[in-house]
């Protein structure tokens, strides 16, 4: 249990390798405030921005960017001055995560911030963290769009959740992404790398403020992880209902 009167301080001055996958509506916000925090903390960190998509004119309603082009590169260039002369290293990978490259992108000891809009990528990254890596912290956030989701259910765009899967020494400290989410365990959508050009252009409209809520919740979980006091595996929210609540850790069998 966290002592509510004790300030939150990271347990180390080396935050290691942080991989941010997805630099769209949620990931772009995460990147900005993550780099502001890291630079101000004075801690050492190696941040890698990963995205194969490009900013286009129709993104402007819910994303902040200075020019068109690969999202990871544009976000890096926009935010380089936040890093300044701090001990934060910032680099990019201009590709989507695929079965062929996931092992090259995600490594032991990584903190993985997953800010994508499709369950197929969540399944891929989640399975890699569960099945291949012994030590990893995966923080995955998302929110529903306005209209029908990939399963055909109507959504109003106000709900979202953040999941945290942590592994230490080959043991799960929290459930993997698909454990209680069948839409991730058996996704009905496709990886972005598998979509045709016409399919890739289409995206479900999202509410900017739901994106903000998702990004904030992901960063909150990251801070608690760095401070060694992250005590929940998932947070659900609904901005229309003013609701945000963590889900308790599951009770072990026996």
Question: What does the angle CA 239 – CA 242 – CA 248 come to, to the nearest 5 degrees?
Answer: 95
Residues 6+ positions from 224 with CB-CB distance below 8 Å: 8, 230, 231
The torsion of the CA quartet 221, 224, 226, 231, rounded to 10 degrees, works out to -90
**Local confidence band at 49 (pLDDT 50, 70, 90 cut-offs):** very high
Res 1 pLDDT > 50 = no
Q: Where are the beta strands (DSSP E) in 56-173?
A: 69-70, 88-93, 111-114, 136-143, 146-148, 154-156, 159-168, 171-172
pLDDT in tens, 72-94: 999 999 999 999 999 999 999 99
Domains of the chain, CATH where assigned: 14-247 (3.40.50.720)
**Local confidence band at 242 (pLDDT 50, 70, 90 cut-offs):** very high
Res 152 pLDDT > 90 = no
Res 149 pLDDT > 50 = yes
The per-residue b/e assignment along 39-51, b for 16 or more CB within 10 angstroms, e otherwise, is bebebebbbbbbb
Report the pLDDT value the prediction gives residue 207, as an integer from 0 to 100: 86
Report the pLDDT value the prediction gives residue 69, as an integer from 0 to 100: 83
**Local confidence band at 60 (pLDDT 50, 70, 90 cut-offs):** very low
- Give me the percent of the chain exceeding a pLDDT of 90: 72
Closest by CA position to 183, among listed 221, 218, 137, 152 = 152
Q: Which residue has the tokens 């992108």?
A: 105
Res 111 pLDDT > 90 = yes
Report the pLDDT value the prediction gives residue 248, as an integer from 0 to 100: 84
The Cα–Cα gap between 32 and 243 comes to 25
Least confident of 50-64, 69-83, 100-114: 50-64
Q: What ranges in 84-161 are assigned the alpha helix state H?
A: 102-105, 119-131
CA distances from 138 to 33, 166, 175 (A): 18, 6, 11
Count Cα atoms within 13 angstroms, Cβ side, for 33: 16
Higher per-residue confidence, 194 vs 112: 112
**Local confidence band at 198 (pLDDT 50, 70, 90 cut-offs):** very low
The two three-digit tokens of residue 82, written as one number: 């936040």
The Cα–Cα gap between 173 and 150 comes to 30
Length of the chain as a residue count: 254
C-beta neighbour count of 100 within 10 angstroms: 9
pTM: 0.90
What is the mean predicted confidence (pLDDT) over 208-231?
95
Partner residues linked to 19 by β-bridges: 48, 112
Closest by CA position to 183, among listed 113, 247, 118 = 118
Phi, psi dihedrals of residue 87, rounded to the nearest 5°: -80, 35
Least confident of 45-59, 196-210, 224-238: 196-210
Higher per-residue confidence, 58 vs 248: 248
Question: What does the angle CA 66 – CA 157 – CA 224 come to, to the nearest 5 degrees?
Answer: 75
Which run of H or of E encompasses 19?
strand 14-21
CA distances from 224 to 2, 11, 145, 170, 206 (A): 10, 10, 28, 21, 27
């Amino acid at each position: 249990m966290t002592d509510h009167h004790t300030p939150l301080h990271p347990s180390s001055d080396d935050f290691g390798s942080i991989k941010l996958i997805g630099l769209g509506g949620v990931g772009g916000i995460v990147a900005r405030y993550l780099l502001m925090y890291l630079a101000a903390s004075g801690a050492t960190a190696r941040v890698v921005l990963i995205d194969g998509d490009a900013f286009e004119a129709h993104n402007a309603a819910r994303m902040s960017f200075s020019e068109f082009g690969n999202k990871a590169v544009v976000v890096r260039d926009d935010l380089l001055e936040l890093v300044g002369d701090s001990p934060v290293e910032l680099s990019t990978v201009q590709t989507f995560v695929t079965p062929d490259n996931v092992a090259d992108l995600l490594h032991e000891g990584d903190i993985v911030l997953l800010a994508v809009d499709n369950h197929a990528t969540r399944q891929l990254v989640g399975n890699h963290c569960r099945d291949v890596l012994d030590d990893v912290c995966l923080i995955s956030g998302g929110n529903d769009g306005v209209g029908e989701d990939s399963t055909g259910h109507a959504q109003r765009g106000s709900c979202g959740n953040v999941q945290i899967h942590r592994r230490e020494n080959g043991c799960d400290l929290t459930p993997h992404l698909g454990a209680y989410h069948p839409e991730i365990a058996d996704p009905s959508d496709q990886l972005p790398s598998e979509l045709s050009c016409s399919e890739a252009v289409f995206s479900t409209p999202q509410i900017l403020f739901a994106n903000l809520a998702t990004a904030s919740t992901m960063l909150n979980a990251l801070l608690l992880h760095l401070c060694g006091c992250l005590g929940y595996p998932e947070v659900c929210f609904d901005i229309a209902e003013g609701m945000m609540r963590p889900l308790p850790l599951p009770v072990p069998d026996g």
